[in-house]
Amino acid sequence: MIRAGIYGATGYTGLELVKILQRHPAADIAFVASRSQAGKTLRDLFPAAPALPLVAGPDAPLDSVDVVFLCLPHAAAAETALVALAAGKCVVDLSADFRLRDAASYAHWYNHTHPAPELLAEAVYGLTEVCRAELPGARLVANPGCYPTSVLLALRPLLCSAVPLAGPIIADSASGVSGAGRTPALTSHFVEVADNFSAYKIGRAHRHLPEMEQAIGDWRAGAPPLLFSPHLLPVPRGILSTIYVTLAADANEADLRALYAAAYDGEPFVEVLPPGETASLAHVTTTNRCAIGLTLVGRTLILTSAIDNLIKGAAGQAVQNMNAMYGLDETTGF
């Protein structure tokens, strides 16, 4: 049995992790930690949750676990990671703290000096379909952001091919409100969000941009720049990304489809949709799946990519990564 501890268990991604690990046949939850709710049980906060006792982060019994999941805000996650790593534990961090390899870029985008820049090179960027060979034995996994998971899985087969591209790549992504986490804020207030649909931090202003461009740069030297426009969708969960890529030469859709079919052949959680079908939240909500649609219009390839932000975009991918770290079938627990 893998013994797991969850920090930030009272948040949205933490609660999803509890749900998945509870039904996982090869993992046990050894502790759930909370900064502000220690002494209560998870059931006190979420009526459908198990009555696991919440412990304060510093009191969490690290000696009782093999791996910890950090469902914490950035900065708090890195501080906790350092403690867990020093205790010899493996860490799957759901925050952004170890996703960017460049500490200066992290400081720029997250307004915070990285407390452990020496660990950035070691952290495995946990887009499981891409990094699974690096996961067995990894000490520190940086679980990807939710928007990047949807955009990168859709772009990867194309970027890793020889198909010539003309820039820029344009990604319009719409996320359900749980993407903003559980802490109340005016921008995620029901009255502000319901019956509304709005874009925010458009173009090159969102923190997930450098994360996506880092991966894109790894996959294709000289790739076109990315324009990324997130939107707030008035549903609880789910992300739909619509991505426009201009090809530099004529292509046909069947060849592009063959590229995607080959790239994701046998992938348990990635489905390339048949011709004419576009991805939707209904393909993926409450699952660890990513659905990808392709449509070629002239020289523009339009990709649609849907995930559940809390599962494939967070807790589900974190467990998929844990499974690969410990040599289990990636689908265990799903």
Nearer to ligand NAP, 19 or 74 (CB): 74
Minimum distance, C-beta of residue 214 to ligand NAP, in the bound complex (Å): 16
> Pattern of binders to ligand NAP over 257-296, x per CB under 6 A?
----------------------------------------
Binding to ligand NAP, residues 15-34 (CB under 6 A): 34
Cα(278)–Cα(263) distance, integer angstroms = 18
Nearer to ligand NAP, 10 or 229 (CB): 10
Cα(279)–Cα(44) distance, integer angstroms = 37
Which residues carry out catalysis? 146
Minimum distance, C-beta of residue 320 to ligand NAP, in the bound complex (Å): 13
Write the burial class of residue 106 (CB in 10 Å: 0-12 exposed, 13-18 middle, 19+ buried).
buried
Minimum distance, C-beta of residue 73 to ligand NAP, in the bound complex (Å): 5
Q: Which two tokens stand for residue 101?
A: 């390899």
Residue with tokens 């975009």: 313
Binding to ligand NAP, residues 186-245 (CB under 6 A): none
- The window from 4-12, 83-91, 249-257, 293-301 that contacts ligand NAP (CB under 6 A) reads 4-12
> Pattern of binders to ligand NAP over 122-161, x per CB under 6 A?
-----------------------xx---------------
Q: Is 76 in the site for ligand NAP (CB under 6 A)?
A: yes
Q: How many CB atoms lie within 10 A of CB 213?
A: 18
Q: Which two tokens stand for residue 221?
A: 């030297």
Q: Which helix (H) or strand (E) holds 165?
A: strand 165-175
- 132, 91, 131: which is closest to 327 by C-alpha? 132
Minimum distance, C-beta of residue 261 to ligand NAP, in the bound complex (Å): 28
- The window from 8-16, 211-219, 251-259, 281-289 that contacts ligand NAP (CB under 6 A) reads 8-16
Single out the residue of 19, 74, 89, 312 in contact with ligand NAP (rule: CB under 6 A): 74
Q: Is 168 in the site for ligand NAP (CB under 6 A)?
A: no
Q: Say how many residues touch ligand NAP, by CB under 6 A.
A: 29
Q: Which residue is nearest to ligand NAP (CB)?
A: 11
Single out the residue of 14, 157, 238, 333 in contact with ligand NAP (rule: CB under 6 A): 14
Distance set, CA 79 to CA 33, 84, 94, 143 (Å)? 14, 9, 13, 16
Q: How many CB atoms lie within 10 A of CB 86?
A: 9
Q: Which helix (H) or strand (E) holds 296?
A: strand 290-297
Minimum distance, C-beta of residue 61 to ligand NAP, in the bound complex (Å): 17
Nearer to ligand NAP, 10 or 278 (CB): 10
Distance set, CA 140 to CA 21, 122, 162, 265, 293 (Å)? 19, 7, 32, 28, 32
Q: Is 333 in the site for ligand NAP (CB under 6 A)?
A: no
Q: Is 309 in the site for ligand NAP (CB under 6 A)?
A: yes
- Whether residue 225 is preceded by a cis peptide bond, meaning omega within 30 degrees of 0, is no
Q: Is 181 in the site for ligand NAP (CB under 6 A)?
A: yes
Cα(321)–Cα(306) distance, integer angstroms = 20
Nearer to ligand NAP, 209 or 314 (CB): 314
Cβ-based neighbours of 247, under 8 Å, separated by 6 or more? 163, 164, 165, 166, 299, 300, 301
The site for ligand NAP (CB under 6 A) is made up of 8, 10-14, 34-37, 57, 71-74, 76, 94-95, 145-146, 178-179, 181-183, 309-310, 313-314
